[in-house]
A and B are shown apart, each in its own frame.
Chain A
Amino acid sequence: MIPKLAIHGLSKTFRQKQHSLLALDAIDLSLAENEFVSLVGTSGCGKSTLLSIVAGLQEFDEGEVLVDGAPIAGPGRDRGVVFQSYTLFPWLSAQKNVEFALSAAGMSARQCREAAREHLALVGLERFADAYPSQLSGGMKQRVAIARALSYRPKLLLMDEPFGALDALTRHHMQELLTGVWESHRLTVLFITHDVEEAVYLSDRVMVMSNQPGRIKAVVPVELARPRPYDITTTADFLAVHRQVLTSIREESIKIAQLGAA
């Protein structure tokens, strides 16, 4: 079967005046249909760059990125993106923000209205349809952003630390909401985070990235049953996976600390 997303030998170098930095080095990965994969790594390891490349928002030097077996050509509606920063348009209500995406996807005004309402309900915000982003909390804004990205049915959902700016309690709530949506909707998701617990809780597989150059260092399958209630995070099975990922990541942060000390 053709994977939903396949990346082969992807490399990216940032060239600066004095020296060049190999940000991504020979990345290989693939996501099966309806798979939830997280990419974890220390800050600056290139995970956001990788997501940005998959989204088509950044160029790359070598390799290929295939969606359903076809190479990508720039950004596209087959890949929905949720950013860490709040990207709702402040001049539009929650409802109109979702409609904006739907109308860009070529839907009629009536279809837009209905689909937008339906997707706001999916993230539990139907009552806030007419609220402007300035009237919504950070978590609510990200829920609308998720609704917007899902609304036009992309093949892939790309999420770049979407809950990174939220407080711990809201973040937990958002993670539960996202697994709920994922379990009921069936989606292929590439999720970027530096929060190990978040990655393990959400994913089918967790990929650990190394730092400078950015490589896929380890792939840890998460064989926990679904649906996953939140208290799964305290079970022995969960903690075993968590420890495995954390150890792998800690090696990287220690490496960085030693580089800094040298």
Chain B
Amino acid sequence: MPPRSSGKAGSSPPRAGGTRRRPHRLLGLTGRLELWQFAGISGLVFAGLLALWWLATSSGWVGPLFLPSPLSVWRRLVELAASGQLWQDAEISLYRILAGFLIASVLAIPVGVLIGCYRFWEAAIEPLVDFIRYMPVVAFVPLTILWSGTGDTQKFLIIWIGTFFQQVLLIMDNVKRVPWDFIDIGRTLELPERRILARIVVPSALPGIWDSLRISLGWAWTWLVLAELVAATSGLGYRITVAQRFFQTDTIVGYILVLGCFGLVTDQAMKAIGRRLFHYVEVRR
């Protein structure tokens, strides 16, 4: 009988590279993705939806009046861009969102910090904010028109009503998460309260506040378009209403997509700025 070099099972030498290591799993819990993988996956999802849309329209399954083909939407957008209409509409909407959002944020940050830090102000303001927060913003549209007409002021007002109250509560929460021990360090250094607030509480809460603002920017877009749909003489939302009157479904779909793009771009931009500003924050990725 020939001698057996490798006898019992399991006695074979371990392979180089370490077979013990967990295999790289794309779908595993806490699995890691390279940037190109991440971009590839999200790109594929977009491409898939586009293909589905194209299929639904080119096969004649959905009539062009209800859902125009991707190509006709694209052509329409190019046309509107060439004539300058698209840029004009986008510019006025961007101006409104920027101004409205800034007004809301600039007011919400101090109020949120105040009620996050002081129980007295929390008692005075938080229930009230909570109460108003649950009022439907849509119902304020007729009122705001009555108060301030159909100009930019009314758009700012709607954006403010829709975002300010939410922001205040989110920011209050951010401030409440500041560790007590941080504040105690300030106390042992005999810093006056105002300086503890400005030099410890606010910087500590700032990354969270930035995230809250980023999230509320999405809502601001919704409220702006709503306000423009109901009563306006310019803007992306206004163009959608006009297009509806003439059954220009391609314009409507095109503008909705443009709005989606603006949302995506502003959100990613704020994320990128946040990463820059708060580079010191530990992020699990």
A residues bordering B, Cβ < 8 Å? 55-57, 74-77, 79-81, 83, 85, 87, 89-91, 100-101, 104-105, 132-134, 152
Q: How far is the CA of A132 from the CA of B200 in the complex (A)?
A: 16
Neighbouring B residues of A74 by C-beta, 8 Å: 187
- B190 and A133 form a contact (CB under 8 A): no
- Which of B186, B188, B191, B199 touches A79 (beta carbons < 8 Å)? B188
Q: How far is the CA of A101 from the CA of B200 in the complex (A)?
A: 12
- A75 and B281 form a contact (CB under 8 A): no
- A134 and B190 form a contact (CB under 8 A): no
Stretch of B58-66, B176-184, B223-231 lying at the A interface: B176-184
Q: Check if B212 is an interface residue, CB within 8 A of chain A.
A: no
Q: Check if B40 is an interface residue, CB within 8 A of chain A.
A: no
User: From residue B88, how far is it (CB to closest CB) to chain A in Å?
Assistant: 42
When A91-B203, A104-B189 are in contact, do A81 and B184 touch as well, CB less than 8 Å?
Answer: yes
Q: Check if B52 is an interface residue, CB within 8 A of chain A.
A: no
- A77 and B189 form a contact (CB under 8 A): yes
Residue of A nearest to B277 (CB): A91
- A91 and B204 form a contact (CB under 8 A): yes
- Which of A57, A85, A101, A133 touches B187 (beta carbons < 8 Å)? A57
When A89-B200, A91-B280 are in contact, do A56 and B179 touch as well, CB less than 8 Å?
Answer: no
A-contacting residues, B55-79, CB 8 Å: none
- A89 and B188 form a contact (CB under 8 A): no
Neighbouring A residues of B282 by C-beta, 8 Å: 90, 134
Residue of B nearest to A83 (CB): B181
- A104 and B191 form a contact (CB under 8 A): yes
Given contacts A56-B188, A57-B184, A89-B200, 19 further A-B pairs with CB under 8 A are A55-B184, A75-B184, A75-B188, A76-B188, A77-B188, A80-B188, A83-B184, A87-B181, A87-B182, A87-B184, A89-B203, A91-B203, A91-B278, A91-B280, A104-B189, A104-B190, A134-B281, A134-B282, A152-B189
- A76 and B203 form a contact (CB under 8 A): no
- A87 and B185 form a contact (CB under 8 A): yes
CB<8 Å pairs between A and B, sample of 18? A55-B184, A57-B187, A75-B190, A77-B188, A79-B188, A80-B188, A81-B185, A85-B181, A87-B179, A87-B184, A89-B182, A89-B200, A89-B203, A89-B204, A90-B281, A91-B204, A104-B186, A152-B189
**Number of B residues, CB within 8 Å of A:** 20
Interface string of B115-138 (1 = CB under 8 A from A): 000000000000000000000000
Neighbouring A residues of B181 by C-beta, 8 Å: 83, 85, 87
User: From residue A67, how far is it (CB to closest CB) to chain B in Å?
Assistant: 13
- A132 and B179 form a contact (CB under 8 A): no
Q: How far is the CA of A158 from the CA of B252 in the complex (A)?
A: 67
Neighbouring A residues of B280 by C-beta, 8 Å: 90-91, 132-134
Residue of B nearest to A149 (CB): B188
Q: How far is the CA of A140 from the CA of B259 in the complex (A)?
A: 48
